[in-house]
Structure 1
Amino acid sequence: MRTVIFDLDGTLADTSGDLLAAANHCFRHMGHGDVLVHGEDAGVALRGGRMMLTHGLKRVGAYDDATVQDYYPMLLEAYSDDIDTHTHFYPGALDAVELLKSAGYGVGICTNKPEALAHQLLTQMGVRDLFASLVGADTLSVRKPDPEPLREAARRAGGHPDLCVLIGDSDTDRNTARAAGVPSVLVTFGPSGDNMAALEPEALLHHFHDLPELVAELIGAAA
C-alpha cells in the first residue's frame, strides 16, 4: 500500500493559538505577563514548546537554558489542559484525508508533538479514527528529521516506507523526506508559507483540494 503521511501542527491544523496560550501561562508565572502575540508569533509556536520559551525569554532579556528546561513541563501541562480552544483544521484538510482513504491510500501522522498530546488533540477534535497511524516526537528513540519516524508511520498505516509521501510545512519535514528518500509536499498557507519554495520540495500545496492529484503524480495510484 502507498501511504500519505501528514505533519500535524501547521500542516493539517493551525494549533498556534493554544500553543501560544500555554507559553504565555508560563511567562505570567515568571512575572513577565503575556510575552508572545497571537498571530504575530504563530510561526514560533509551530516550532515547539522549547522554542516558544526560548523566543519569549530572549524578548524580555531573561533567557537561560535552565529556565526553558524548568518551565517546559508546565507548558505541556497548560497545553494539555486547554488544547483545542483556538485550534482549527485548515480548509479542506479533512476532506482531502477522506478522499485519499477512499482512493486506497493509507493515511497517517508523523509529528514532533509528543504522541500523547497529539492523540489527545485529535481525539478531542473527533478525528483520531481518520488516521491509521500516529507517530509523535517520543514514540521512538528518534524524532524528525531522522527518517525513521516517517518510515514507522508509513508501516503502521499499512504501507511500505519507500512508497509514501510526507505533507509538511517546514525544513524539518523537507529534510525528513529527503533522508527517507521519498517525496515531500510543503503547504504554503501556514505561517511560513512564503518560505517553502526555497526548500525545493517535490511539490507545493496551495489548497488541500489539490492534494489527491499531487499525491497520484508523486507516488502513483494506491495498490
Structure 2
Amino acid sequence: MQNATLVFDLDGTLVDSLPDLAAATNHALSDLSLPAIPAETLRRTVGFGARRMIVEGLNLGGLTLPDAEIDRLLTRFLAYYEPNIARLSRPYEGVVTALEGFREAGARLAVCTNKRLSLAERLLEELSLDGLFAAVAGRDSFPVSKPHPDHIRGAVRMAGGNLARAVMIGDTSIDIAAARAAAIPVVGCDFGYSDAPIETLKPDVVISHYSELDAALRTLLVGTPATGSH
C-alpha cells in the first residue's frame, strides 16, 4: 500500500447519503403538489446529480417542465440540502477503520466526486471524515468532471500521488468509465447507487463491504511500481 493513491467516490461509496438527498428532492418538489417519493425509488439516479433526481421526480409525477423551472427547483434543493446535508447520511460500515488502516500503511487518500466541492467538503466535515483525505476534488474543482479522466488525474495530483500507483473506488458506471479513461484499476461497490448491477459494468473487483477492500487493493497494486514521477 506504500505510495499508493486511493481515489474514492463520495455518495454511494464512502457515505450512504440517499436519505438526505431524497429529502432535498422532495423538498424541491413540494410546491408542485406531488406525492413524496420514497428514497429507494431515487437510488439509481443519485450518481447523476441533483438535477437528474429532480427530473426523475417530475417524471414520476407525470410532469415535464422547462429548464428555467428546473433551475428554480434545483435552487430549492440546494437551499434545503446544504444545512441538512448530514441529518441522516452516514459512512458505510467499516469505512473509517479501513481508511485509517490505509493511511497507516502509507497510502494517500483522495475524494473524486461529482458533488459540488463546497457540499462535498461540508459532508465530510459533518461526518468527521475530512481529516482522512489528502485531497478532495468536486465537480467544480476542474473544468471537467467524471467520467472525464482529468477529474481523477487532478485528484491524484492534488493528493501528491502517482497515477501509476492509483486505484479508483466507486459505485456507478460514471466512476468505472472515469477510471478506465484514466487507465487505472477500479473497485466497484455493490452497496451503492449504480443504475445497473455493478458486476455488469466490469470493474476489476467488486466488494460488498469495506472489510474486503484491503485484499482487493493489494491484488490490484501487485506489480505496480512503488515510486515514480508524479
Q: What TM-score do the two structures reach when normalised by structure 1? A: 0.94
**Which amino acid is 2:59 matched to?**
K
CA RMSD, Structure 1 to Structure 2 (Å): 1.7
Q: Which residue of 1 aligns with 2:32?
A: 30
**Which amino acid is 1:150 matched to?**
I
Match of 1:115 among 114, 117, 122: 117
Matches within 5 A, 1:32-181: 32-34=34-36, 36-66=37-67, 67-181=69-183
Structure 2: gaps of 5 or more residues: none
Deviations 1:29-61, CA, capped at 9 Å, x for gaps: 233242x21233222234320111111111111
Deviations 1:1-49, CA, capped at 9 Å, x for gaps: 3200000000111100000111111111233242x21233222234320
Q: Which residue of 1 aligns with 2:188?
A: 186
**Which amino acid is 1:16 matched to?**
L
Deviations 1:53-79, CA, capped at 9 Å, x for gaps: 111111111122422222112211210
Structure 1: gaps of 5 or more residues: none
- Calculate percent identity across the aligned residue pairs: 33
Q: What TM-score do the two structures reach when normalised by structure 2? A: 0.91
Secondary structure, in 3 states, of the residue corresponding to 2:168?
strand
Distance 2:195 2:63 in 1: 30
Contact 1:2–1:159 (8 Å) recurs in 2: yes
Match of 2:215 among 189, 202, 213: 213
Deviations 1:143-200, CA, capped at 9 Å, x for gaps: 0000111111111112112320000000000100000000000001224497011111
Secondary structure, in 3 states, of the residue corresponding to 1:9?
coil
Structure 1: 4+ residue segments shifted above 3 A: 191-194, 220-223
